[in-house]
Structure 1
Amino acid sequence: MKKEIYYCPICGYELEDYFGSGELCPCCFREAGCDDELCYDEIDGESRNQKYYEILDREEIRKIIPDYKKKYNLEEYVPQEIVWDYLRAIWIKSGSPYTWDIVKKVRLEELERGEDNYEDIYGYKVIDEPDWTKEKAYRQLKRIGVDAREFIKSIWGEKNELYKEAVEIMK
């Protein structure tokens, strides 16, 4: 029997299980049923409180969520596919990291300082990716039908360094 293959709908990372409620992607470090369930009125504040990521400005948000300007203060859910695009843009703007490596490093530093109140980080069944590259990140997006170049161009344009870099990487 052929094993089912699952991918994170945000970054395209191959997961062990379906990206269902509570499933955590080690690559973009997003949790299904939590990070991808946002109301319009949460987006601006949510994007500005990311511990491991860059933030999107309002112009970038409007390019991803076209009705954001008229709905920004509503307690209405943003369609899930659009939230995935929004979270993908944050991940890409932050350098497309394998976020688990960053999270683990930060949490270990917090533990050393006695500041970590989280559950045991070794309790997560996560694979380390010591040789992670942007090329791997951009290529894995193809698994979910996302061309990194086109996605980046749609938000930041052809003159942006992210776009130029993506074109170079994806030659």
Structure 2
Amino acid sequence: MIGAIVTFGGIGHLRPAPGTWGSLAAVVLAILAYEAGAALLVPLGAVLATVLGFWAVPRAIAGQQDQDPSEIVIDEVAGQLLALSFTVLPLWRHGVDSLFLGAWPAWVMPFLLFRLFDIWKPWLVGRADRRGDAAGVMLDDLWAGLFAGISSVILAGLYHGALQPWLNG
């Protein structure tokens, strides 16, 4: 069960770039939830993945040399769902019908920004990653998700508040 949780049902075994596959799986689940009218499952999924990750990751890496094996992707799932929550919830609140077709930047930008912050590891993301323990495995992706979510909202605000009126003006 621990292996299934930390690899997100085996997705962490996909190559190359298992973290990207884990992030992409989270995006697909978020889109499916939104399209099914269950947008609140996105932040709920982020909380669930976080809790499960903080429980399962220490058990999965206990006694191993590698404290952050690449097949562990529950951290990417948690961080990606956190990032998506920043765009999914406002769209749902404003009654946007389709996330996939009608508001595709709302999932593309959090995905790209999350992967950027997760790979680049700026500031608190890198600090958490350098912990070298199970908590660091989870925390770096949660920080990356937070930064990606906030950045997505800022970019959306700039587009809708400044660029779009200028283009239409």
Q: If each structure's helix is expressed as a fraction of its own residues, which one has the higher value?
A: 2
TM-score by length of 2: 0.29
Instruction: Report the TM-score when normalising by structure 1.
Output: 0.29
Task: Tell me which of the two structures has the higher relative contact order, counting C-alpha pairs closer than 8 angstroms and 6 or more residues apart.
Answer: 2
